[in-house]
Amino acid sequence: MAKATVVKKNNGGTIAQNKRARHDYFIEEKIEAGMSLQGWEVKSLRAGRMTLTESYVIFKNGEAFLLGSQIQPLLSASSHVVPEATRTRKLLLSRREIDRLMGAVNQKGYSCVPLACYWKGPLVKLEIAMVKGKQLHDKRATEKDRDWQRDKSRMLHK
């Protein structure tokens, strides 16, 4: 008998990244969160139509919400649903994680921003981080270090 070959579907991969957050903030702690989405949003995410650049996380009534992210609807989206690209989306976190993040944001002066959105199997996950803002001189120092590391690796590989 011939063996049956199993073809695995590749659902892993990054949907969107927030490169601006890595430049503007010191990242203190990263947390993985789920997102509550509608059907048309999942279809748009499969097409890679998400932007996280101006988005941030707020806490209200003991729940976490993602504001400012954009998921552009597909033209072939369902006709009976009116898609809203910048809808506020609920984040799925445990009570302990929400309490810890809320305490850091309210008391210690941290902010909470999304870093990346990606597929984890059939689920959409959002990597959020507790961050502190960088001053202009911090940004320059980071860029200088990054340039030095790049130049150093070029010299070693010649």
Q: What is the tens place of the pLDDT at every residue in 35-68?
A: 998 888 888 888 888 888 889 899 999 899 999 8
Q: What is the tens place of the pLDDT at every residue in 104-133?
A: 888 887 889 999 999 998 899 999 998 887
Question: Does the domain made of 13-155 have the CATH classification 2.40.280.10?
Answer: yes
Domain ranges of the chain: 13-155
Residue type, 136: L
Q: Alpha-carbon distance 69 to 138, whole Å?
A: 26
Q: Alpha-carbon distance 42 to 123, whole Å?
A: 9
Judge if pTM exceeds 0.85: no
Write the DSSP string, 90-105.
EEE--HHHHHHHHHHH
